[in-house]
Amino acid sequence: MSDSPSPEQPTSEATFKTRSGRVAFQHKDYRRFWLARVLGVFAIDMQITAISWQVYQLTGKPLDLGLVGLAQFAPFFLLFLVSGTVADRFQRKRIMSVCVSIQTLCAIAFFVMTITGNADFPTIFTILIFLGIARAFQSPAQSAIVPLLVPKEHFANAVAWTSSGFQMARIAGPGVAGIMIIAGEQWV
């Protein structure tokens, strides 16, 4: 006789939730983390799209668009060993809080520059470097926090949902930003 329920036996709701593809979302802390991560990635990608558009409008140079990407990528490349060590040695929640605070300050700086009309490429590039550094430290801390939010048996499901949410936000963010740019960069 098998342990699995027969077609005649109804499965309990707990059994269904455990076997469902959304089992990680049973955990309140994971739900909050997932939503914050998806919205954060969505917002950052919208912001980078608007900044890229603004830089191109300011300078008209394709090279400057490449430098926008470099300012985002270089901190990951240069700091990956340090940021991973920091994520292992310090409280991940605190690292993420500091990183999100820095990203918020960068967003405020971009917004103020945009609405006042004082945007210039060197200032934008400098702020992008700080944004890139914050993201370089946030990424390993964010990745390493998932095992603390769900039980071991739900970890694979949580990783799958985290990755799916990240990819959805990475695709939707620039698309929504492109539509919003029609009304003006400041709206993004």
Select from 179, 188, 185 the least CA-distant residue to 55.
185
Which architecture does CATH list for 35-187? Up-down Bundle (1.20)
What's the rounded Cα separation, in Å, for the pair 124 and 68?
9
Burial of 63 (0-12, 13-18, 19+ CB in 10 A): exposed
Q: How confident is the model at residue 143, as a pLDDT?
A: 87
Global pTM reads 0.80
pLDDT at 17: 53
Predicted pLDDT at 19:
59
According to the model, what pLDDT value does residue 54 have? 92
Q: Going residue by residue through the chain, which has 188 residues, state the pLDDT in tens, using 9 for 90 and above.
A: 444 444 444 455 555 455 578 899 999 999 999 999 999 999 999 999 999 999 999 999 999 989 999 998 899 999 989 999 999 999 999 999 999 999 999 999 999 999 998 999 999 999 999 999 999 999 999 988 899 899 999 999 999 999 999 999 999 999 999 999 888 777 87
Q: Which pLDDT belongs to residue 18?
A: 54
pLDDT score at 44 = 93
The whole-number pLDDT of residue 72 equals 87
Rounded Cα distance between 85 and 97, Å, is 17
Provide the pLDDT for residue 134.
96
The string of DSSP letters for 79-118 reads HHHHHHHHHHHS-HHHHHHHHHHHHHHHHHHHHHHHHHT-
